[in-house]
Structure 1
Amino acid sequence: MATATKRLNKELRQFSSIPSSCCSAGPINDDMFNWEGSIQGPDGTPYAGGLFFLRLTIPSDYPFFPPKVKFTTKIYHPNINGSSGEISLGVLKSKWAPSLDIRKVLLNIILLLSCPDPDDPLEADAATLYETDRKQYDKTATEWTRKYAMNHG
């Protein structure tokens, strides 16, 4: 656990010292194993303009095992479960490596928003729509982004 805490403190300092406009993350209530992250919807996608929040649960044997990451903002996407927020992404499973860090995980999730993988869906309906009627898929994803990920002020 000491290794994980040391590594997480280092990553947290990096988020502070090198802020990114596309993503951020940090511990919830000073709990180094429970973080909240946020990502900006990438330009040129139905998610553009949206701010999406994620919950990261970090195992005590991190970085040897990946964090569990779930969207807390509802999102319409083939690889993200609309109700649980679970994400189907290689770097969170078999493609994890200790050289990855939380920032790289968030950047991979942004990339997934830009390039869905309909062959590995968690939401079969969204995957089918993505492949058969991209215009309708984009419309639905844009509506969800407006409804759930944009500031309603």
Structure 2
Amino acid sequence: MASSSSAQLRLMSDLKSIINEPPEGCSASPLSDENLFVWSATIFGPDETPWEGGVFSLRMTFGQNYPEKPPRVRFTSEMFHPNIYRDGTLCMDIIQDAWSPCHNVSTILTSVQQILRQLNSTSKISRLITREYVAVPVNPLIRNIRSSVSFLSTFWKQLWCVIGRVSFCFPVYNISSCKYSVRA
């Protein structure tokens, strides 16, 4: 029981810290007021990476023995990265072998952002993803096209939902073949 109350105190301290001094490009809070042990987090894709402009959601689940043991951290957004399993679980040293009670929610989220900036080459989950990630540099023009087309696609999808069936065409960037296609 003492470990549970110490975990709750620590989580309340982490919440206060992330509210007062949030790490750049991150936010987190408990999913509900009733359960301090399950948090939802958001990370903005770091600049100059393939994830630039993206908004990614994570779930952090803390045990009764936090901060002595690390939380489980998992992306709820679909991710394509060499250090992230298909189910969204991260392969990250600070939530595994290198865990220390001095880490908190802010340091975890900052570490997740760092993995998006630079892959952890010592712990490759998927060799195929690693090969693609390393072999294909992200051209800034292509990245800008991706984000612009993504924005336009989202806009048209929302417009479609609002006004019903409308006949229109808009460009869709096909990343795998690096060509434009037009969909009606």
Q: Please, what TM-score do these two structures have when normalized by structure 1? A: 0.85
Aligned match of 2:136 in 115, 134, 137? 134
Structure 2 equivalent of residue 80 of structure 1:
84
2:22 corresponds to 1:24: no
Offset of residue 121 of structure 1: 1.6
Structure 1 equivalent of residue 98 of structure 2:
95
Q: Which structure is higher in RCO with an 8 Å CA cutoff and minimum separation 6? A: 1
Structure 1 equivalent of residue 62 of structure 2:
58
Task: Using the aligned pairs only, state the percent identity.
Answer: 29
Runs of 4+ in 1 over 4 A off after TM superposition: none
CA displacement, residues 17-44 of structure 1 (integer Å, 9 cap, x when unaligned): 2234411111012211100011111101
Which runs of no fewer than 5 residues in structure 1 stay unpaired? Answer: none
Offset of residue 16 of structure 1: 1.6
CA displacement, residues 42-68 of structure 1 (integer Å, 9 cap, x when unaligned): 101011111110000101100000000
- Equivalents in 1 of 2:89, 2:61: separation in Å? 12
- Equivalents in 1 of 2:22, 2:93: separation in Å? 25
Structure 1 equivalent of residue 127 of structure 2:
124
- Equivalents in 1 of 2:23, 2:108: separation in Å? 14
> Is residue 118–residue 128 contact of structure 1 (8 Å, CA) maintained in 2?
no
Offset of residue 106 of structure 1: 0.4
Mark the structure with the bigger radius of gyration: 2
Q: Please, what TM-score do these two structures have when normalized by structure 2? A: 0.71
- Equivalents in 2 of 1:73, 1:106: separation in Å? 15
The secondary structure found in structure 1 opposite 2:40 is strand
